[in-house]
Structures are given as structure tokens and as C-alpha cells.
Amino acid sequence: MTAFQWITVPTLLALFLWDMWHLGRGPLTTGSRLLRMTLWLSAALAILRPDWVQKIAEWLGIGLGANLVLYLFALAFLWTSFFLYSRIVRLRQDVTDVVRQLAILRAERGGGHGAPS
């Protein structure tokens, strides 16, 4: 094993164990934790056995394993960007709805422009 493998594989396994330990707890959903655990193990496996990544790349018609990894990261980045953008749009709409309801309630109570009572 190379020095890089000695450093990264135990780190990835520690991240896997951390997520396994916190599975079902905390702010992340179980699905999110399982996805993260899958990614940690996949990365560790790809680092330990880069020849497998190369074989998968060749099977898919991609010349190099590194290109396969790059393409997967590009697709993951795009998906994440679109997902987070949609969440931001939804949150902005939710804030707008809450502020609108608050303004209506204050107007119905005869409240002015001052601080909330």
C-alpha cells in the first residue's frame, strides 16, 4: 500500500463508522446517512483497488478510470447544485409566505409599524 492509501482509507473508514454510529440520529435522514456511507466505502474501495475503477471505465467505454471518476464528480456536482438551488427557492417562498401571514395578522390586530407585541 502507498502512503496515500495508508492515510485516506482509515480516514474514510472512520467516516463510515461515524455515519453508521449516528444512523437514525441527528439532523440527517437515514437515506442521507446511507448515501454517505456508500460513498465512503466506494471511495475507500476505489483507492484500494484502482484497477477495478479502470475495468469499470473500460466496460463503460471510457478510456481511463480517472476520467470515470471525474465524470461522476461532475454529474454529482450538477445534481447537488440543482438540488440546493431548488431548496433555496423553496425556502425563499416559505419565508415570503411567513412574512405575508405575519403582516396580515398585524394588520388585523390594528398593529402599526412598530415592534411586535
26-74 pLDDT per residue, tens: 888 889 899 999 999 999 999 999 999 999 999 999 999 999 999 999 9
> In 46-79, which positions are buried (b, 16+ CB within 10 angstroms) versus exposed (e)?
bbeeeeebbeebeeeebeebeebbeeeeeeeeee
The rounded distance, in Å, linking the Cα atoms of 70 and 56 is 14
Using the predicted structure, report yes or no on whether residue 117 has a pLDDT greater than 70. no
